[in-house]
Each structure stands twice: as structure tokens, then as C-alpha cells.
């Protein structure tokens, strides 16, 4: 038959001639072959194919799939791969919008006709050996977006939908001796695309492997492994059910345990005494070996399986793994890399190693089943997986909300014509992934509202498996609460979760998405973890998400950058909303991974007084791992200089807290000290080398002066500076420095430091008049809640301050050992604000700056309060004593460490997809910005400790205005200056969500009150 492309408009047409789904086990000719990992029953067809791409279904050349077609003019294409990244059509990033929205008017279930690329792939192959008697051959398309039609040697084979699970077809009867021609026609948009509206780039093509599989005459078509662990955890039962084709038998052996016996129902069963239980902390896997024999007793295949013996479920009202309450320190993960959704096993393994290194213990496969090897790796590395089926109809749900439509308008909702495809997708996922111990929950999909269709999926999951079922949509459509076994919401603030739990104690609560990590974000996330360890019913959540979705591009000047929505000529699009990962698009970590690592770490440590002696209180959050499993080292330091370091032996049982004497003496000499406790791997693991730090805590100890030093003692015996009060300028001069304050320009015009300043020499360290700074380049989160419009007055205030008229400027007041010069500004806000900036210069050239701001009544909070100074771009070495080493903000500094850190200013602006406020440091006591020779400028915090124990400091190659004007990092201008922005505080970055959630109030600068900021600088 010749298939009709009209099937793409029919949501009930799920598949034709597709084989039933089955477990993802592999089979080998022998145990020896299995040990080598290469199966003679498999023949991979990945590689170079020929392809012809039509603009839409009507433009497909009839008969082009036939063997005799002249394909000399066809293009070559790599499989796996996306059409759009190999010269055909274009990538398109949309979040909620359907890609065709605004281009065609379509009823739900109808596929676009104008622009809907259809690719006909063709390649030839020859079987690597003749077929044995009774042997069958299938072709498996592991991923075809979004539907595939298949021919072999011109014979129609079948049709399959569902982009993210395999479509497998028996092709035995269509094969010929010698060369065979395989044709696969892949349609970009089908009826099924209406429920594949995930927040991701839209591609099409054969993006996962294509494999030929042989099935011997007697074959284990499906294998199901289940484990049951006794309440006492001292015994377990491993049960194996095998569905055979042909007449034969199966035997099985579990390594270290023994052979499995045939149970009365035909299953193979073995009892395990004192089982080693699988968990994220100890992902132990037993090796199970099945041998399949034909009726004559000859071995037809060997099936190796890895079995994790574990018990997971809702027990006593909470999620438990092997009887212990679990906190999910999770992350969502799109399969995405530099080649889009074409992701290798090696790349996936690198992602998992990263997760384990930073304390992530759970992954949600947002929002579709992943490549099969992902689950193998999660089994081996130890990660809890919420396996999510391929369902999202976000745009239709959005339509309900925007138009106020009734729930009956939802898709799939209560529409019976959509139920077959949902059940097919659920079965394809579950049957493939059922044997993986890492899979602990089945998810019915994402952001598709509610209805009887999704309820039927949940009920089907429960009818065939005992794992809990997850679905967040019940939160929006509560008509069928039994759709989900856990209460699941997205981006709910921690305070609201806690308020909900005060009245709802019937089910565990998780956040399937939280801490939307878009741009410079991830603020105040610690509140969620505090709640998870305070209330047993809140069991954690999944950060959104693992890595930025962005693709490598090169601009017209040959400069590489990462492209997001709209950079490919794609419309509609959702711009940089795809940039919300813990990792950049190249899968290197972002600065706030420093915070993730701390919040997700398995130990909490505090310095306490124990009977008059210092001690460490250690909380062990592991479920099965004692603290003695990790080496602990305690370090005492002062301003980056290690004074003492000692090992500490701990023996705190999992889930308990213990106190251990501090193995070193605290000093009594006045000063500021740090005590660091570091827990490290004693031995190498698959995911990190020996010595890798799994947890870190720091205490700051201040030994005060007996009496406060007088200023005279600070300034020493240096003579007072010379003050030259001129017509337009006031000069302040001393040995090795010269400062010039301009009445015309309203501030410090020049600051020279070094030998020869008295005769015009020395080095100029101020490239422009310092000005008050109340603004920074808006972050993604600030744009999301409309910050630029609300904060605009503070942009004008910092950019266009003017001197108060009719007042002598500056006011010059000599004092003992120095002179103070004050400039008074009016700030163009409505109502007007005022700002005084006083420079006190002493005889050593030290300049102490005091900034006093009086906001106009009713003005919003400032994005920041500080000063902006520019200097020579040759000063690009930053060294500071403060929090770091990565950028940190007032609501994202728990993972930072007080120490002496260094950074090259030229790379200090974090390369978020869209440039924005970034690169600042908190708790800065002092900092030096120098050139290659070590000369430059030193800044010091003065006065009260401030919100973070010091000032905040940004040192970048660009001003906030330049950063804000660039839409990609490659658009930033050539470097002409080094920009210093010491500040009392910057607004916290926030991050509950990126479309309206503001920074928590306690991380904002106070409104409507006088604020003072003091710092000092001098040349070095």
C-alpha cells in the first residue's frame, strides 16, 4: 500500500504496524559476547544518509522513497541529527506558543500545511550475515520528530508517532539478499505536535540512533524485573517475568546470590538475604544473567541485566527509599547540547557526574522520556528519576486562562479522541524503562491542565506498576485529585508551601520545578531546603533547569556566541527564556552552582561552645552514610593565610547530629579569622576523584580590640596634606599623591599616585569623575517583573545628578590630619532626591568616601547604592578579601567563602545568554585592582559591617549602560576602561520565578530613609 499523509491530521492515528513496546534489555549470542558489550544481534544504521526535504506535505515528490529513485542530487545528512542544524529550515525556540501560531489558523489536531518540512531519508544496508532459521529483523527509530513513515525496498512497513520513545517495525519479510534500501519519511508537525508543546527548541528529523535488531527464533521479547524488600530490610525477593517468542525455556542466575527458581506462576524467583540496597548514596547493582534456550536445549541468546534491590514509595504518608524519608535535591533536565537534542552517552555521563559532584540526587526528565542510556547511567551513578511521558499542551492551557474558557476546552482534557495516543505514550515509556531502579515515579506529563484523559493515564500506570504517579496539573484543575499521588506545584514560594502544609497533611509535597535559574538568579533558595528539613511532608524539588538551551553561532565579524530565540529568523519566538540552566550552553557551570553545591550538600556544620570549649556540631543528612565515610579537615586562617590545619575524625550516624571538639585552638590576638570544615571523599568514585569536597562550612570568628583605635593612630604621623583652593579646582597634595576636585565637573577629577606626582608625574588612577550609582543592568528576573520601568528614576539619578545650585561646591573642611570636601547633588527623581558625597583625604593619599542619600518620598527601592569609578583598562587584576570565589549577591551567598580571591577583570562579567548585572562580590573588606606590575588602586570598606560583613564590589570592563545595551555578549564594545562599583548593597537577584516574582523584601535596600555608604581608596 502507499500510505496517505492525511494520517498526520488524525490524533487517533498513533501507529501502524509498530511492534508493542518492551523493556530496553539487550541480548547477546553468549555471555562472553555480553562481557564485551557488542551484540552480534545489533547493526547500527547511524551515519550518513541521503535526504530530500519538502517544504510541506503537499510538496513531497511522489514515489521518492522507492529504490529506483535517482538520488544523485539529494543532500547528505548525518543521523542522528536535526534537519534544522544541517542546512534545512531553521531552529525555532518557543516556550508556550505553538510554532505555527499567527501563521495558520488550525483546529487542534490539524497539522500545518504551509510550512511543515517533510524529510525523506534513504540509506542502503546489507545484513552483516544471513538470517538464521526463524530469525526476525526489526528496525528501531529511537527518536523521530515528530512522526516517521517507513519503507524497506519500496515495501510499506509502518508508521509511528511520539517523538521521544522508540518506533520499532518488523522488516523481515521486506528484506532481500544483498543490498537493501531503507526509507524513512519524517514529518515535522503532526496531530501529536499539539501535545508536544514543551519549552524547548523546535527541531525535526532522526535525532537518535537507528538500529537493526535480530531476534532469534526463541527470544526474550520482554523482561520484567521486580524487587520486594521486607520491612526489616534484611530480606528481599527478586522476581523475573520473561515473555518468550517460540518454544523454549529460560534460566537465570543472580551473581553473588545464586540461580533463580521457577515459581508456580512461571516467574523466576530468588530470595536475597541481607541485601545490599540500591540508593543514590549506594547505587549497588546485582548482575542478573538470563539464558534463553530453544526446545532442543541450545542457547539462543544471553540477556544480562543489572538489578537494583530497593523499596521506594509513600509509606506513613511520606516518600521513602528503603524505609527512610527522602529529600529530593533535584534538577530538571532537557536533553540538550551543542547539537540540540542530539546527545551522546558520553555527554550524558558528564552531566550526571556534574550532578553527583554538586549534591543533586534526583532528575526529572522534563518533559519527555530520555535516551535509553540515560537510565542505565542513573542506575549506575545513583540518581532518583521522575520519568515523564511526552505530553505538554501549554499553549492550549494558556488559551483557557487568557480567554476564560471552561475546562472542557482543555487539550487533551476530556476528549476521547486523544486518549489512545496518551495511553500509547505512557506504555512506551513504562515498558521501556520499568526495570530501572533509578525510576522512582512516573509522571503523566507537564502543563496540560487536567481532565479524564490524564486521569486514565495515571490509573493505567498504577494498574501495571507500584511506583507513585506524579502530575502537577491537578494544582490548576482539581476536579480529579487522584490523578497524582503527590502534591506537586511549580515556583511556589517557600512561605506559601509552608502555609499550605499548615492545613494539608494528607500527601507529600514536592516542587516539580522551582528556583527558575534564568540569567543571574537563584536567590533565597535556601528557604526551600530549610523547610524540607523542618517539615517531613515537604520533600524537596527540582531546580529549573540543568543547562541553557542555546546554539553556537558566529556573528558577521567572526565572533562566536550562543544564539537563542529570534537569532535564527524564527518567529514566533520567546527570546532568551531558554537560558535558565545551572550550566551554560557548553555545559560548564555558572557561578551560582557554588550556591547549589552548598544548599544540596549532605552535612551542616556549626561552630559552637561545648562546655566552654569550641566544638563543631555536625548534622549528617545522609540516609545510610556515616560521616566517618568522609575525611574531614579543619582549617584556621586569617585573611587567606592558613594558620593551622588539622584532620578531624567524626562518627555521626546518618540522619543524626553530633558534636566533635574543635581540633585546633582559636586565637586571642585581635582580628578576623575563618574556621573551615571540609568533608572530602576518601577514595575516588565514578563521579569524582579522591579528595573531592562533598561539603563545606565556614565560621567567621572576630576577636575584638580591647579599645577602639583613634584616627590619629590609624593615619600615623603623616603630615596633613597641602590644600590648594583654586578658582575652578581644589587640589589636595602630599608625598606621592595628588588629587584634584573640580567645581565645574562636580567631583574628583584626578587622582594621581606614585613617584613624581609633585611635578606632574605618577599614575592617573581616575579616568572619569566618580558618580553615585543607583542602577545596574537589569537582570532577567528584574525584566520579568517590570523592574526597568519601575526603577527608571534611579537610572536617571545616577546618570544625571546635578550640583545643588547656589551652594559653594565643594565645601572644604580641614580637620586633624586631612581635609574633607563635600559635593551636594540633586537627583532627577520625582520627587527629587538628594545625595551628598564627601571625600576625606589624609596625608598618605588615602581617600575616604562617604555617600549619603535621601530618597524622595514614595520612591521605589534602589537597585543598588554605591559609587561608580573608572580607571585604566591595564588594571585588570582583581584581588579581594571577601566572599567568593564566584559572584555572589545578598540573597545568594550561603555557598561563598570569606577568603582572599583573585580574578581577571576581563572575564569577570558572567557570560549569561543576555548580558545583565553580574560579577559582583559580597562581604568585601578590601580589594586591589592592579596592572601586570602590581600597581593600581586599593579599596577598603569603612564603617558598619553592612548586610554581608563588608561592602559589595563589582569590577568589570564595562559600565552598566554598556552591559544593558548588549543583547548578546559578543555585542559588548571593545574594552576602554576598568569600571569599579563599590556599593553598600545591590538588590538581591531573586529567582522564585522569572515572570513576576520580586526579590524577597529583606534583600532590598530600605525605602524612604536616609542611607549612608562609606569606603576608602588609595594608590598601591
Place of cell 527509599: 321
Q: Does the pLDDT at position 196 exceed 70?
A: yes
The CA-based angle 350-353-356, given to 5 degrees, is 155
Residue 342: all three cell numbers together: 542530539
Angle CA(121)–CA(126)–CA(127) in degrees, nearest 5?
120
Q: Cell for 736?
A: 606621592
Set 65, 142, 388, 513: catalytic member: 513
Question: Which residue is listed with cell 525510576?
Answer: 439
The active-site residue, picked from 65, 142, 349, 447, is 447
Region 625-642: mean pLDDT is 98
pLDDT band of residue 85 (cuts 50, 70, 90) is very high
User: How far, in whole angstroms, is CA 478 from its chain's centroid?
Assistant: 30
| Domain span(s) for CATH 3.20.20.80 in the chain | 316-597
* Kind of pairing between the strands at 747-753 and 737-742: antiparallel
| Helices 372-381 and 345-357, packing angle to 10 deg | 30
Pairing between strand 538-543 and 509-514?
parallel
- 447 annotated active-site: yes
Contacts of 834 (CB under 8 A, 6+ apart): 804, 824, 825, 826, 827, 853, 854
Q: Which residue intervals of the chain bear CATH 2.60.120.260? A: 5-215
The string of DSSP codes covering 552-564 is: EEE-TTS-EEEE-
For the stretch 950-983, pLDDT in tens is: 999 999 999 999 999 999 999 999 999 999 999 9
Q: What is the pLDDT of residues 546-588, one digit of tens each?
A: 999 999 999 999 999 999 999 999 999 999 999 999 999 999 9
The whole-angstrom separation of Cα 891 and Cα 989 is: 7
Q: Which pLDDT value is given to residue 947?
A: 86
To the nearest 10°, report the CA torsion of 380, 385, 391, 396. -140
pLDDT score at 946: 80
pLDDT digits (tens, 9 = 90+) for 225-243: 999 999 999 999 999 999 9
User: What backbone torsions phi and psi does residue 364 show, to the nearest 5 degrees?
Assistant: -105, 130
**What is the pLDDT at residue 407?**
87
Band (pLDDT 50/70/90 cuts) for residue 707 is: low
pLDDT > 70? residue 921:
yes
pLDDT at residue 32 is higher than 80: yes
- Residue range(s) occupied by CATH 2.70.98.10 in the chain: 738-1019
The CATH code of the domain at 738-1019 is 2.70.98.10
What pLDDT was estimated at residue 717? Answer: 60
168 is catalytic: no
712 falls in which pLDDT band (50, 70, 90)? very low
Is the domain spanning 316-597 CATH 3.20.20.80? The answer is: yes
| Cβ-based neighbour number of residue 1006 at 10 Å | 13
User: Mean pLDDT over all residues of the chain?
Assistant: 96
Domain with CATH 2.60.40.10 in the chain: 219-312, 602-703
Taking 80 as the threshold, does the pLDDT of residue 706 lie above it? no
Is the pLDDT confidence value at 139 over 90?
yes
- 224 in Cβ contact with 25 (< 8 Å): no
pLDDT class of 1 with cuts at 50, 70, 90: very low
- Tell me what percent of the residues of the chain surpass a pLDDT of 90: 94
Give the domain 602-703 fold.
Answer: Immunoglobulin-like (2.60.40)
Tens digit of pLDDT for each residue in 737-773? 999 999 999 999 999 999 888 777 899 999 999 999 9
Q: What pLDDT is attached to residue 401?
A: 82
pLDDT at 1004 over 70: yes
How large is the average pLDDT for residues 252-271?
96
CATH architecture observed for domain 5-215: Sandwich (2.60)
DSSP states along 844-891? TS-EEEEEEEEPPTTPPPPSEEEEEEEE-TT--EEEEEEEESS--BTT
Q: pLDDT for 199-212, tens place per residue?
A: 999 999 999 999 99
Q: Distance (Å, rounded) from C-alpha 259 to C-alpha 755? A: 86
- Return the residue matching grid coordinates 509509606: 315
- 861-878 burial by CB neighbour count: b if 16+ within 10 A, else e? bbbbbbbbbbbbbebbbb
Give residue-wise pLDDT tens across range 447-495: 999 999 999 999 999 999 999 999 999 999 999 999 999 999 999 999 9
Q: What is the mean pLDDT of the segment spanning 123-138?
A: 96
Q: How buried is 71 (Cβ within 10 angstroms: 0-12 exposed, 13-18 middle, 19+ buried)?
A: middle
Q: How far apart are CA 618 and CA 874, in angstroms?
A: 46
Contact 633, 644 (CB under 8 A): no
Please list the helix, strand and coil fractions of the chain in percent, rounded to the nearest 5, in that order. 15, 40, 45
Is CATH 2.60.40.10 the classification given to domain 219-312? yes
Amino acid at each position: 500500500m502507499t500510505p496517505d499523509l492525511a494520517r498526520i491530521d488524525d490524533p487517533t492515528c498513533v501507529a501502524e504496524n509498530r511492534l508493542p513496546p518492551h523493556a530496553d534489555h539487550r541480548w547477546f549470542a553468549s555471555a562472553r559476547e555480553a562481557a564485551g558489550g557488542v551484540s552480534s544481534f545489533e547493526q547500527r544504521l547511524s551515519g550518513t544518509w541521503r535526504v530530500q526535504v519538502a517544504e510541506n506535505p503537499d510538496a513531497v515528490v511522489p514515489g521518492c522513497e522507492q529504490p529506483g529513485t535517482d538520488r544523485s542530487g539529494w543532500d547528505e545528512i548525518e543521523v542522528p541529527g536535526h534537519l534544522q542544524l544541517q542546512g534545512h529550515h531553521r531552529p525555532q525556540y518557543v516556550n508556550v506558543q505553538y510554532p505555527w501560531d499567527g501563521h495558520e489558523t488550525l483546529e487542534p489536531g490539524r497539522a500545518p500545511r504551509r510550512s511543515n518540512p517533510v524529510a525523506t531519508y534513504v540509506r542502503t544496508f546489507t545484513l552483516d550475515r544471513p538470517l538464521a532459521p526463524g530469525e526476525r529483523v526489526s528496525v528501531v527509530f529511537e527518536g523521530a520528530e515528530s512522526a516517521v513513515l517507513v519503507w524497506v525496498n519500496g515495501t510499506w512497513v509502518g508508521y509511528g508517532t511520539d517523538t521521544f520513545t522508540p518506533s520499532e517495525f518488523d522488516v523481515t519479510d521486506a528484506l532481500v539478499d544483498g543490498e537493501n534500501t531503507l526509507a524513512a519519511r519524517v514529518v515535522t508537525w503532526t496531530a501529536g505536535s499539539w501535545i508536544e508543546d514543551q519549552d524547548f527548541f523546535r527541531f525535526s528529523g532522526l535525532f537518535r540512533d537507528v538500529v537493526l535488531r535480530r531476534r532469534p527464533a526463541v527470544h526474550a521479547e520482554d523482561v520484567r524485573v521486580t524487587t520486594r524488600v521486607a520491612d526489616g530490610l534484611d530480606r528481599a525477593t527478586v522476581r523475573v517475568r520473561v515473555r518468550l517468542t517460540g518454544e523454549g525455556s529460560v534460566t537465570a542466575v543472580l551473581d553473588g546470590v545464586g540461580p533463580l527458581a521457577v515459581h508456580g506462576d512461571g516467574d523466576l524467583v530468588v530470595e536475597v538475604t541481607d541485601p545490599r540496597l540500591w540508593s543514590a548514596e549506594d547505587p549497588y547493582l546485582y548482575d542478573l544473567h538470563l539464558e534463553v534456550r530453544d526446545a532442543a536445549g541450545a542457547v539462543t541468546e544471553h540477556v544480562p541485566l543489572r538489578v537494583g534491590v530497593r523499596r521506594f514509595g509513600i509509606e506513613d504518608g511520606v516518600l521513602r527509599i528503603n524505609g527512610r524519608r527522602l529529600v529530593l535535591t533535584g534538577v530538571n533536565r532537557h536533553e540538550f547540547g551543542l547539537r540540540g537534542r542530539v546527545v551522546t552517552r558520553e555527554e550524558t555521563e558528564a552531566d550526571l557526574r556534574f550532578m553527583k559532584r554538586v549534591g543533586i540526587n534526583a532528575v526529572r526528565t522534563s518533559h519527555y522520556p530520555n535516551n535509553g542510556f540515560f537510565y542505565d547511567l542513573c542506575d549506575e551513578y545513583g540518581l532518583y528519576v521522575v520519568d515523564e511521558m511526552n505530553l505538554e499542551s501549554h499553549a492550549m492551557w494558556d488559551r483557557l486562562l487568557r480567554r476564560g474558557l471552561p475546562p472542557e476546552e482543555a487539550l487533551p482534557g476530556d476528549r476521547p479522541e486523544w486518549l489512545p495516543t496518551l495511553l500509547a505514550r505512557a506504555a512506551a515509556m513504562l515498558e521501556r524503562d520499568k526495570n530501572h531502579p533509578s525510576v522512582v515515579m512516573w509522571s503523566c506529563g507537564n502543563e496540560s491542565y487536567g481532565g479524564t484523559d490524564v486521569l486514565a493515564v495515571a490509573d493505567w500506570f498504577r494498574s501495571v506498576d507500584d511506583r507513585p504517579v506524579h502530575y502537577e496539573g491537578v494544582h490548576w484543575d482539581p476536579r480529579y485529585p487522584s490523578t497524582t499521588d503527590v502534591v506537586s506545584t511549580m515556583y511556589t514560594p517557600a512561605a506559601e508551601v509552608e502555609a499550605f502544609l499548615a492545613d494539608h497533611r494528607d500527601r507529600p509535597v514536592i516542587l516539580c520545578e522551582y528556583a527558575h535559574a534564568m540569567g543571574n538568579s537563584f536567590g533565597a533558595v535556601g528557604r526551600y531546603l530549610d523547610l524540607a528539613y523542618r517539615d517531613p511532608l515537604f520533600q524537596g524539588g527540582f531546580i529549573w533547569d540543568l543547562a541553557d538551551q542555546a546554539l553556537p553561532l558566529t556573528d558577521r565579524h567572526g565572533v562566536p556566541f550562543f544564539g537563542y530565540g529570534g537569532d535564527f529568523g524564527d518567529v514566533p519566538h520567546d527570546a532568551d527564556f531558554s537560558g535558565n540552566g545551572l550550566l551554560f550552553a557548553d555545559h560548564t557551570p555558572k557561578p551560582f552552582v557554588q550556591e547549589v553545591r552548598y544548599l544540596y550538600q549532605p552535612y551542616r556544620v556549626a561552630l559552637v561552645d561545648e562546655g566552654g570549649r569550641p566544638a563543631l556540631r555536625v548534622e549528617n543528612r545522609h540516609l545510610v552514610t556515616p560521616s566517618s565515610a568522609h575525611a574531614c579537615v579543619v582549617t584556621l586562617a586569617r585573611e587567606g593565610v592558613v594558620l593551622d590545619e588539622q584532620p578531624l575524625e567524626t562518627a555521626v550516624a546518618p540522619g543524626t547530629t553530633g558534636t566533635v571538639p574543635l581540633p585546633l585552638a582559636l586565637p586571642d590576638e585581635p582580628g578576623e579569622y575563618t574556621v573551615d570544615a571540609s568533608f572530602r571523599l576518601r577514595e575516588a568514585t565514578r563521579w569524582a576523584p579522591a579528595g573531592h569536597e562533598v561539603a563545606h562550612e565556614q565560621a567567621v570568628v572576630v576577636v575584638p580590640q580591647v579599645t577602639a583605635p583613634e584616627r590619629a593612630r590609624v593615619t600615623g604621623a603623616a603630615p596633613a596634606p597641602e590644600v590648594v583652593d583654586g578658582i575652578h579646582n581644589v587640589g589636595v597634595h602630599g608625598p606621592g599623591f595628588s588629587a584634584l576636585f573640580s567645581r565645574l565637573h562636580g567631583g574628583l577629577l584626578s587622582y594621581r599616585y606614585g613617584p613624581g606626582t609633585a611635578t606632574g608625574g605618577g599614575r592617573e588612577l581616575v579616568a572619569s569623575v566618580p558618580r553615585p550609582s543607583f542602577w545596574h543592568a537589569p537582570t532577567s528576573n528584574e525584566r520579568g517583573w517590570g523592574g526597568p520601568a519601575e526603577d527608571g528614576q534611579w537610572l536617571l539619578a545616577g546618570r544625571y545628578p546635578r550640583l545643588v545650585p547656589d551652594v559653594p561646591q565643594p565645601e572644604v573642611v580641614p580637620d586633624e590630619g586631612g581635609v574633607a570636601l563635600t559635593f551636594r547633588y540633586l537627583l532627577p527623581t520625582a520627587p527629587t532626591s538628594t545625595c551628598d558625597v564627601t571625600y576625606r583625604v589624609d596625608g598618605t593619599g588615602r581617600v575616604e568616601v562617604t555617600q549619603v542619600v535621601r530618597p524622595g518620598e514614595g520612591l521605589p527601592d534602589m537597585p543598588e547604592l554605591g559609587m561608580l569609578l573608572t580607571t585604566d583598562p591595564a588594571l585588570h587584576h582583581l584581588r579581594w578579601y571577601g566572599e567568593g570565589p564566584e559572584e555572589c549577591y545578598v540573597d545568594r551567598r550561603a555557598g561563598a567563602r570569606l577568603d582572599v580571591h583573585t580574578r581577571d577583570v576581563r572575564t569577570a562579567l558572567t557570560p549569561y545568554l543576555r548580558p545583565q548585572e553580574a560579577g559582583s562580590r559580597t562581604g568585601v573588606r578590601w580589594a586591589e585592582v592592579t596592572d601586570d606590575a602590581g600597581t593600581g588602586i586599593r579599596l577598603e570598606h569603612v564603617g558598619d559591617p553592612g548586610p554581608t560583613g563588608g561592602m559589595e564590589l563589582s569590577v568589570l570592563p564595562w559600565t552598566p549602560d554598556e552591559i544593558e545595551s548588549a543583547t548578546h555578549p559578543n555585542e559588548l564594545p571593545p574594552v576602554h576602561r576598568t569600571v569599579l562599583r563599590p556599593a553598600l548593597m545591590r538588590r538581591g537577584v531573586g529567582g522564585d520565578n522569572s515572570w513576576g516574582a520580586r526579590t524577597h523584601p529583606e534583600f532590598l535596600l530600605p525605602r524612604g530613609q536616609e542611607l549612608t555608604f562609606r569606603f576608602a581608596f588609595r594608590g598601591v
